[in-house]
A and B are shown apart, each in its own frame.
Chain A
Amino acid sequence: MTTYEFYINKDFDFCCTRSDNPNFVSKNIAAIQKLEYLTQPTIGKARITNRNMIIETPRGSLTLINYREMQDAKVDPYLEKLIFKIKQELPKAQKKKHGKKPVRNKKIAGVAVVGTLALVALVNTIREKEKLQATSIIEDLENDFTQNTNALLMNGLRQGYSYSYKDNTVKVEPDTNMTQMENNLVEISNQDANLSDDTAVAYLDFEDERYSITGEYAYDLYYDSVKPYAEKWGLPSNLMTGILTQETAGNYANLMQVEFNVWKDQILTVYNFNEEKYEKVVLTENPQNYDSDIICITRQDLENPKTNISVGCILFRQSLSYMNYHIGAGIQCYNYGYGNMQQVLDYTAKMTGISKQEILADQTNLDFMNYTNIVNDQGDSNYLMHVLRYVENIEDGIDIQYINRDGEIDNLHVTILPNSKKM
Chain B
Amino acid sequence: MNQLIYAFATWLDTHSWSTQLHESFYMYNWVESTHVLALMVSLGLLFLIDLRMLGLAFVDIPATAIAHRLFLPMLIGFSVMIVTGLLLFYAIPVRTSQSLWFRIKVVLLIAAAVNAWLFHRRMQDAGSSAAGSWDLAVKAPRRLQIGAALSLIFWGFIVICGRLIAYDWFDCRGEPSPFVSTITGCIADQTQF
Judge: A and B partners, yes or no: no
Q: Chain B interface (Cβ within 8 Å of chain A)?
A: none
Q: Chain A interface (Cβ within 8 Å of chain B)?
A: none
